[in-house]
Amino acid sequence: MYGSYTGPRAGAAAAAVAVLLLAGCSSSGGGSSDGGAKGAGSSDGGSSDGGAKGGGEKDAPAAVGQQPEGTAPFWVNPEGNAARQVAAYAEDGEKGNAELIRKIAEQPVGEWISPDGPREAAQGFTEAAEKAGREALLVLYNIPHRDCGQFSKGGAADGDAYRTWVDGVAQGIGDRRATVILEPDALLHLVDGCTPQKFHEERYDLLKGAVERLKQQPNTAVYMDAGNAGWQSPDALFEPLQRAGIAAADGFAVNVSNYRTTADSTDFGKRLSAKVGGKPFVIDTSRNGNGPYGGGDPAESWCNPPGRALGEPPTTETGDELVDAYLWIKRPGESDGECKGGPKAGDWWPEYALGLARAAK
C-alpha cells in the first residue's frame, strides 16, 4: 500500500515516550512514525522511530522549534528520527549533513499510530501538540488485511479489534485538536482488486464507522485516503468514497507516501472533489519535489526511487480554497520497503533522507 506500519514503537513504548515528552524533555514532544508508498500508487505507514542511525546512535534529539502557527499549525516532533539524526551528525562533527537533515527535522510530519496502545499514543501526541500550541497530525493505518500481504502487511486481527482500536484513538484524542489521515490504501485496494472480494463489505463498514467515531471528537478533522494522480481515476473512486463515508468526513487526502507533483495532485483532487460534493482535500508533498520516478521497473517506481526531493513545506496557506493543506504525511527519510537497498518499510534510512534534502529546491 502507500505505506505500512512497521517499527518498534508500540503500546507501552509509545506511552513511555509520551510521558517523557510531557515531563519536559522538550517544549513539545512525541514521536512515532510513518511509512512508504506502494503499488502504482500505494503507501506505507510505519511507526518506527527507533533512533537515528548512520551518524551513530544518539539519544539526545536536536533542538527544533515549531513553525509559525498562522501558516503551519501542525506540531513539530522534537523527538523524531530526523531530529535525532541531526544531533547524531552534529556530535560526529558532520555539520553539513546535520544542516541538510534539519530541513526535515524542523517540519511537522505525520505520527502513525501504533497497533498497540492506541489511546496512550494518541493522547501523548495530542497533549504534546497542545502544550506547544499546535495541532497533532495523526495517521491511522491498521485496517484488517492491510496492504494485501505486501511490504506493509498486517493490521487489526478482525473488524471488532479494529473498531476497538479506533475507539482507543478517539478517546486518546479527546477534545484536543487533531487532523487524522484515515487508512492509506484501504479504499484503493478495494478498487484495484488487491483486497479479496470477501473482505470488501466489512472494509467499507469499518471505514465508515471509523469516520463516524472520530468525528464524535469536537476538534478532530478526518481526511480519507483517496490514492494519487497516477493510480486509478476519479471516475473509479467517487462511488467507493461515498460508500466508505466521505459525506461525514472533512475531506480526503491524495498522494500519501507517493511522488506525484503538487500540480498533478491538485488537478486530480479537484476532479475527484467535483464528484463527492465539493469536499476539500490535503496533499502529501513530503517527497514530490522532483515528481515521480520514470526509470526502472514501473511496478516498483513507488519504492525508494532515486533522485527524489522534498516538496513544498507543510502549510495551510495553499492559495486554493479546495486544498486545505500541504502536509508531510509520509515521514521523509523513512523507507518504503526492502527495495533498492532500503530497510523494511517505515525504518529510518539516513542516506535516503540526505538525498531528499540535497535535491530540495
Alpha-carbon gap, residue 190 to 285, rounded angstroms: 24
Q: Which residues of 334-351 are buried (b: 16+ CB within 10 A; e: fewer)?
A: bbbbebeebbbbbbbbbe
Name every residue whose Cβ is closer than 8 Å to that of residue 185 and which is 6 or more positions away in sequence.
Answer: 1, 2, 3, 38, 39, 42, 43, 146, 147, 152, 225, 256
Q: Choosing from 34, 284, 336, 347, which is the catalytic residue?
A: 336
Instruction: Spot the catalytic one: 44, 49, 116, 185.
Output: 185
Active-site residue 147, yes or no? yes
Is 185 known to be catalytic? yes
Q: Which three cell numbers stand for residue 181?
A: 489521515
Distance CA(30)–CA(134), nearest Å, equals 13
Tell me the C-alpha distance between 54 and 31, whole Å.
Answer: 19
For residue 180, the SS3 value is: strand
What is the spatial distance between Cα 174 and Cα 169, in angstroms, rounded to a whole number? 9
Beta bridge partners of 154: 146
Catalytic annotation present for 116: no
Catalytic one of 34, 147, 192, 284: 147
Active site residues: 147, 185, 336
